[in-house]
Structure 1
Amino acid sequence: MTTQPRTGTAPAAVAPTLLGTAEPLATAYDLALMDLDGVCYRGAEPVEHADEGVAAARTLGMRTVFVTNNANRPPATVADQLTGLGIPTRAEEVMTSSQAAAAVLAETLPAGTLVLAVGGAGLREALTEAGFRITASAADRPAAVVQGFAPEVGWAQLTEAAYAIGAGARYVATNLDATLPTERGMAVGNGSLVAAVVSATGVRPVSAGKPQPEIFRQAAARGAGTRPLAVGDRLDTDLAGARAAGIPGLHVLTGVSDARDVLLAAPAERPSYLAVDLRGLAEPHPAPVPAGGGWWSCGAAAARVADPPHLALRLGTAVTELEPETPVTVSLDAWRCLTAAAWAAADAGTPMARQQVPALEVVAPR
């Protein structure tokens, strides 16, 4: 099985621990590269406090570019939905994985090249705007195949892709997300459809979307950001992609990855800041600091990984040994120091297992 290569420069490094800022994130950073599903909306419904969080950040001077792995919808359609949910947005403030895929092709293929598009209107629009000609048939001998999700994609389109790739066409995927969040649950995503073509051809595509860094770099350039901050709800795409691009990331608890997932995050998926929701953009973020004896402190809370491996939380002088099977409600500062303690233990060679970490409900002070 082969993989088609990409070239690029190495990203800047982001510290594999939580960062801190005494000023609001919206003034410490000039551009938010913001995810959509699970951050701004869930399907057709708004995420709680998303509109006020974005409004507060913009009032403080932060610009926004909304970065999505959704390849099906054109940017104008996404912008209209956000505007209807109370987040006024222009089409040029939306960066889709279809646009990222078109930019990837444009690095090596000239305008006018024939491309087989497997996907929806958003993909066809992005390729056309990048100057490519589009076909739906491998018989036309396209130079490349670009595959993105659309509900209508099925056997016939996947087979045309396989024919073209088998004949030597380059293969690019908008993203490799195996699932797609919907109001009914997790549906089959583009990555699952790509897997069928990979199985048939033995060729793995270049992926343009998250967690690859390219889409973040393009979005940062579009927003003219010199100090960008990525914002997301999913560790394996939003935060992993931010870290791959060398951009600090803010994780919010309104989508896929929960507070316990963050404690267990691999170094390549760790966020730099933690918040309950987008209101965290307008707030300072204290960094946990070592406090001796394995303790990490943040505000009025402190935490450590005790032996045998389990989490201990200290509030004032009272120490609570957290029971893995008992859900616990903690403050935002407590979550920060619990996370720092768990990451430090993992980096020292004693990572915690999921069954050793209780489910956490994080409550932010308001």
Structure 2
Amino acid sequence: MTTTTATLLASAEPLASAYDVALMDLDGVCYRGPEPVDHADTGVTAARDLGLRMMFVTNNAAREPQTIADQLSSLGIPTTAEEVMTSSQAAAAILAESLPGGSLVLPIGGPGLRMALTEAGFRLAESAQDEPVAVVQGFAPDLGWRDLSEAAYAIAAGARYVATNLDATLPTERGMAVGNGSLVAAVTNATGVAPVSAGKPEPEIFRQAAARAHGRRPIAVGDRLDTDIAGARAAGIPALHVLTGVSDARDVLLAAPHERPSFLATDLRGLSAPHPAPVPDGEWWTCGAAAARVTGPEPHLEVNLRGRTVELDPAEPVTVSLDAWRALAAAAWAAADAGTPLTVRQVPVLEVVAPR
């Protein structure tokens, strides 16, 4: 795998043909809680028809791979347990690299975490009194004070500390709920010990998933810049960002270099489409029929569509085409890299219209 550049890439052929396996995020990409994301089922089906294999990679550590596979299948995305990679499995693999088989580990989390540790050859402790050599903390909706305190007791006694992920929030159908990272913060605050994280944005989970899928040309797909995209970039894997979850189109324009995606789409239908990359033309960046630039003593964005130039009012939401969004992202990133970064007050809320 090669390191991706901090700008948009071009693909003259559909991404599903250019790459051999998609490392797919779940929450915000395929579903939100129990509800499907629009066009996720047809997007995956079309990509598979073009030869793209799927590996679903999730920071969710509570559920077993088969449970996740069953949910995806019920939503029109036929999936086997072997096509699911959880952060619990990644955490177990990290421990297996340095601890002998049969070591006693305290799981703080759900059945998916317990299963991953057992399959990796570890024995499971029930409390800190069992003197575990390691603690692995993953999200479960019924975790409480007693569980977190057992983790703190074991860590204070010298146990190694691993977290499945550090996501502060968890997307649900009702909005953002408390995530594993917020619960980990309580244990860290009590012990002064920060865990090793196995999940996104750490690169190891992407590398493990690509290796399991025998992927030679993997592409990551996600909705969060700070986890999905940052983790893919850290692993040297190109990433497609979709607008069906957490990070919106304006967030992409303001993204730091290590969180910039390689490709942009509104949803998973973008896997079956070619992706033109913006190219510089003087102070403009052009993509298809659209062009954009950052200009002025007080930097602001302008977009040009078919010869008509419009200055974007940051106080007014604006609807743009997918190519215009690509051009705007390239212009904003180039300005930031040249020392003139835009702020959230200079970029309007963007609604991106997918091509028909």
Give the TM interval when normalised to the shorter protein. over 0.9
Structure 2 match to 1:310: 300
Equivalent positions of 1:336-351 (< 5 A) are 336-351=326-341
Which residue of the other structure, out of 122, 126, 129, is the alignment partner of 1:132? 122
- C-alpha contact 1:118 1:146 (8 A) present in aligned 2: yes
Letter in 2 for 1:282: S
Read off the aligned partner of 1:17 and give its amino acid letter.
T
The CA deviation string for residues 263-310 of structure 1, in whole angstroms up to 9 with x for no partner, is 000001000000000000000000000011x10000000000011211
Question: How far has the Cα of 1:365 moved from its partner?
Answer: 1.2
* Match among 60, 78, 81 for residue 71 of structure 2: 81
Identify the range of structure 1 (174-183 vs 295-304) with the bigger mean alpha-carbon deviation.
Answer: 174-183
Q: 1:219 aligns with which of 206, 209, 227?
A: 209
Counterpart Cα distance in 1 of 2:68 and 2:54:
14
Secondary structure (helix, strand or coil) at the match of 1:172 reads: strand
Report what 1:57 is aligned to.
47
Work out whether 1:295 is the aligned partner of 2:284.
yes
How far is 1:205 from its partner? Answer: 0.3
Q: Quick one: which amino acid aligns to residue 285 of structure 2?
A: W
**What displacement does 1:364 show?**
1.3
**Structure 2 counterparts to residues 2-21 of structure 1, below 5 A:** 12-21=2-11
Moved over 6 A (4+): none
Instruction: Determine the C-alpha separation between the residues in 1 that align with 2:353 and 2:28.
Output: 18
Deviation at 1:12, TM superposition (A): 3.9
**8 Å contact kept, 1:118–1:136:** no
Matches of residues 22-37 of structure 1 in structure 2 within 5 Å?
A: 22-37=12-27
Task: Report the RMSD for the aligned CA atoms in angstroms.
Answer: 0.7
- Select which of 158, 179, 185 maps to 1:195: 185
1:348 CA drift (Å): 0.2
Aligned pairs for 1:158-197 within 5 A: 158-197=148-187
Q: Does 1:39 align with 2:29?
A: yes
Question: Any idea what SS the aligned residue of 2:93 has?
Answer: helix
Q: Give 1:325's aligned residue.
A: 315
Q: What is the Cα deviation at residue 187 of structure 1?
A: 1.2
* Other structure's SS at 2:136 match: strand
Moved more, 179-188 or 329-338: 179-188
2: distance between equivalents of 1:185 and 1:322? 29
Between the aligned partners of 1:271 and 1:246, the Cα distance in structure 2 is: 12
Report the more deviating stretch, 60-69 or 179-188: 179-188
- How far apart are the structure 2 equivalents of 1:12 and 1:118? 36
1:68 is aligned with what amino acid?
A: T
Deviations 1:30-78 (A, max 9, x none): 0100000010001101000000100011000000000000000000000
> Match of 1:89, SS?
coil
Q: 2:82 aligns with which of 92, 111, 114?
A: 92
Letter in 2 for 1:275: A
Which piece of structure 1 moves more, 278-287 or 151-160? 151-160
**Partner Cα distance (2:270, 2:69) in 1:** 22
SS in 1 for 2:210: helix
Identity value in percent: 76
Structure 2 residue aligned with 1:6: none
- Displacement of 1:214 in angstroms is 0.5
TM-score, scaled relative to structure 1: 0.96
Determine helix, strand or coil for the equivalent of 2:105.
strand
**Contact 1:171–1:206 (8 Å) recurs in 2:** yes
- Give the whole-Å Cα distance in 2 for the aligned partners of 1:183 and 1:314: 37
Contact 1:136 1:157 in 2 (8 A): no
Whether 1:260 aligns to 2:246 is: no
Q: Aligned with 2:291: secondary structure?
A: strand
Question: Aligned equivalents of 1:61 and 1:328: distance in 2?
Answer: 36
Q: How far, CA to CA, are the matches of 2:191 and 2:262 in structure 1?
A: 39
- Structure 1 residues 95-106: aligned runs within 5 Å: 95-106=85-96
User: What is the SS of the residue equivalent to 1:38?
Assistant: coil
Question: Hey, what's the Cα distance between the residues in 2 that align with 1:34 and 1:335?
Answer: 22
Secondary structure of 1:323's aligned partner? coil
Distance in 2 of aligned mates of 1:326 and 1:143: 55
**What amino acid sits opposite 1:303 in the alignment?**
A
Q: How far apart in 2 are the matches of 1:93 and 1:178?
A: 26
Are the counterparts in 2 of residues 162 and 201 from structure 1 also a CA contact under 8 Å? yes
Deviation at 1:213, TM superposition (A): 0.4
Cα deviation, residue 151, structure 1: 1.2
Write the letter of the residue equivalent to 1:47.
V
Tell me, in whole angstroms, the C-alpha distance in 1 between the residues paired with 2:38 and 2:178: 26
SS of the residue 1:159 aligns to: helix
String of CA shifts for 1:141-199, please: whole Å, max 9, x gaps.
10100000101211111111111111111000000011111122211111111111101
> Aligned equivalents of 2:176 and 2:320: distance in 1?
28
